[in-house]
Structure 1
Amino acid sequence: MNKKNPAPAIWYVLALWISLLGACQPASVKNDPNNRALAKVHNKTLYLADLEGMIPAETSSEDSAQIINAYIERWVRDAALMYEAERNVPKDLNIDKLVRDYRASLIRHTYEKILIEQLLDSTVTTKQLTDYYKDNEDQFKLGSDIARCRFIQLPKRAPDLARFEKLWKSDKVEDFQLMVAYCNDLAVAKLLDDSLWYGLPELQAQWPGNPGELSSVQPGKKITRRDENFIYYFQMGQVIREKESAPLSYVAEQIKKMILHQRKMKLFDETRENMYQDALKRNQVSVYQN
């Protein structure tokens, strides 16, 4: 059976790993009589000098020995694995190029983070959210039903359930506040803010009734179901069906991320172009054509 080569990302990590673990001590350090060898695996040797700076000055001799022994145990295993990795690296793999590419990627990523922290405007106003939503509403069609609703899961043996049932059935504001306090203490799960939108499939997954039952509940209606251990309460509010446009409040966080992503890309493109133009002005750009 032909073996497939590992994904390119694996070889990037391996290249960096080989570059780091394969680094050798200078000959002058190796020949230092005070720098004794601690371990050897195949052609790799771990020297005492390799552990320099690893142990804090105030560490006891016993703790130092434990730290050194633990490091040696890790090192010999890593070295054994690296030996096999080097033997099995594809012959056409350019380790040096992978290390250069990976290093460049890390540097670029770090610089982009600096640009974001220093220059990116991370404030997204309500108007910007609304404008983006209006201009791209077709992108925000629902993949499933959502609803404003209330959902409560209580243990069957929860205390004073009769009192809770009265609070649940009541429409008085003061009774709702008492119910919230009860749920904060005893509910296994609760969704009590009916100004928020919730995915009905996610709620249905926790519901003991028939599949799809929650989607068929009429707005304003309250239902109760039981299983072996729990009692479930559900009240339907406003419903928006699959394939209809999601309300702005439901996708606001998603839109914010999209706006910020666009700003990041614009910032990177503008910075790249400005640096290029600056290099041109300084005569630091040369293009050699065939």
Structure 2
Amino acid sequence: MFKTLLKYSLFIAVVLTGAACSESVQEKPVAQVGSHYLYPSDISRIMPANTNTEDSAILANDYINKWIKQELMIQKANENLSEDQKDLTHELEEYRNSLIIYRYKNELVKQRMDTVVTTEQIEDFYNANKQTFLLDRSIVKAVFIKIPSELANPEQLKEMVKDDSEEGQSELRDYCMQYAKNFEIALDSWIDFAVLNRNLPENISDPVSFLTRNNLKEMDDSNYYYLVSIHDYMLTNDLAPLEFVENNIKNLILNQRKIKFLRELENNIYTEGERQKKFKIYQENE
């Protein structure tokens, strides 16, 4: 393995420094399957910038092996499929047509579709579809702090997390940036309670009971002190706060608008084609 990597380390060094030379210089292939060849320039094109020599060798070796496997599979398929099975003319034409239509529609959507969604439209959609926005998990506005035990001052921290003012949050954030191993200050936005739970040394198995009975939780292990301060919560099956689903609603509105836009586009193109006699539908007796 080491010899292989060394071989490709030297090879990649040459590829990355010399593969872009004059096209008139004939490249020596690095692999061959049947009449198909893989060249150094093919590999250099897939190399991420600033990759060190050892990593480049590993990537090159992996790419060569994948290329060989693919070429062998293509060769085997060509040997075993009939000419009719290998005729992809219809499939390629269908794919090309689908791709052209897709790109044309996307261009029209970007150029002509109204993408402005107002706060009033979001609120109207929310109020008209509240059953759609029942929570499937508990969410919280909370502070979570994980701090080395030797640096922790529990009484000071408990006082600091009570202050939900902008100035208080800023002071707490500065403190955590300096001393905490990990922290989350989410008082202006909702977060998934499970995210906090995963960071605790002991799993809270009953979030409902915990959230309804506690607004402050202290834990510790051999190295760290943990503090969770719950400032607000919503439980599974509660109606999600508008601010929590606002972006989803905006996307839903835009998606509905896009569907309507594209339906009207197809109908308009059909009407135009009919008016300009661009198509004809033959009857059975014609």
Could you state the TM-score of these two structures normalised by the residue count of structure 2? 0.68
Partner in structure 1 of residue 75 of structure 2 = 83
How far off its partner does 1:189 sit?
3.2
Q: Which amino acid aligns with 1:179?
A: L
* TM alignment of 1:102-121, pairs within 5 A: 102-121=95-114
Distance 1:37 1:184, change over 3 A: closer
Partner in structure 2 of residue 154 of structure 1 = 147
Matched, 1:184 2:174: no
Distance 1:113 1:167, change over 3 A: same
Matched, 1:256 2:215: no
Deviation per CA, 1:61-90, whole angstroms, max 9, x where unpaired?
Answer: xxxxxxxxx9xx799835444212333558
Q: Is the 8 A contact 2:135 2:238 kept in 1?
A: yes
Whole-angstrom CA distance in 1 between matches of 2:183 and 2:67: 52
Whole-angstrom CA distance in 2 between matches of 1:182 and 1:37: 60
Whole-angstrom CA distance in 2 between matches of 1:154 and 1:271: 58
Partner in structure 2 of residue 130 of structure 1 = 123
Q: Which amino acid aligns with 1:274?
A: N
Q: Is the 8 A contact 1:155 1:188 kept in 2?
A: yes
Partner in structure 1 of residue 12 of structure 2 = none
Partner in structure 1 of residue 54 of structure 2 = none
Distance 1:148 1:284, change over 3 A: same
Distance 1:182 1:75, change over 3 A: closer
Partner in structure 1 of residue 158 of structure 2 = 168
Aligned length: 231
Unaligned runs of 5+ residues in structure 1 are: 1-33, 55-69
Whole-angstrom CA distance in 2 between matches of 1:226 and 1:75: 49
Deviation per CA, 1:73-125, whole angstroms, max 9, x where unpaired?
Answer: 79983544421233355875752222122212221222222122211222211
Distance 1:154 1:107, change over 3 A: farther
- Of the three residues 175, 188, 191, the one matched with 1:195 is 188
Q: Is the 8 A contact 1:149 1:194 kept in 2?
A: yes
Distance 1:147 1:93, change over 3 A: farther
Distance 1:212 1:75, change over 3 A: closer
* TM alignment of 1:264-275, pairs within 5 A: 264-275=258-269
Q: Is the 8 A contact 1:219 1:239 kept in 2?
A: no
CA RMSD of aligned residues (A): 3.5
Deviation per CA, 1:135-178, whole angstroms, max 9, x where unpaired?
Answer: 10111111121122211222445x4x33x741432445555432
Partner in structure 1 of residue 272 of structure 2 = 278
Whole-angstrom CA distance in 1 between matches of 2:178 and 2:104: 48
How far off its partner does 1:213 sit?
5.4
Deviation per CA, 1:154-210, whole angstroms, max 9, x where unpaired?
Answer: 2445x4x33x74143244555543221011334343221312112212321222224
Distance 1:100 1:204, change over 3 A: same
Distance 1:187 1:267, change over 3 A: farther
Matched, 1:100 2:93: yes
Distance 1:114 1:224, change over 3 A: same
**What's the secondary structure of 1:242's corresponding residue?**
coil
Q: Which amino acid aligns with 1:275?
A: I
Whole-angstrom CA distance in 1 between matches of 2:80 and 2:204: 52
**What's the secondary structure of 1:196's corresponding residue?**
strand
Distance 1:247 1:286, change over 3 A: same
Q: Which amino acid aligns with 1:287?
A: I
**What's the secondary structure of 1:192's corresponding residue?**
strand
Matched, 1:238 2:232: yes
Whole-angstrom CA distance in 2 between matches of 1:219 and 1:76: 60
Could you state the TM-score of these two structures normalised by the residue count of structure 1? 0.67
Partner in structure 1 of residue 9 of structure 2 = none
Whole-angstrom CA distance in 1 between matches of 2:222 and 2:66: 54
How far off its partner does 1:286 sit?
1.2
Identity %: 24
Q: Is the 8 A contact 2:135 2:240 kept in 1?
A: yes
- Of the three residues 131, 141, 145, the one matched with 2:134 is 141
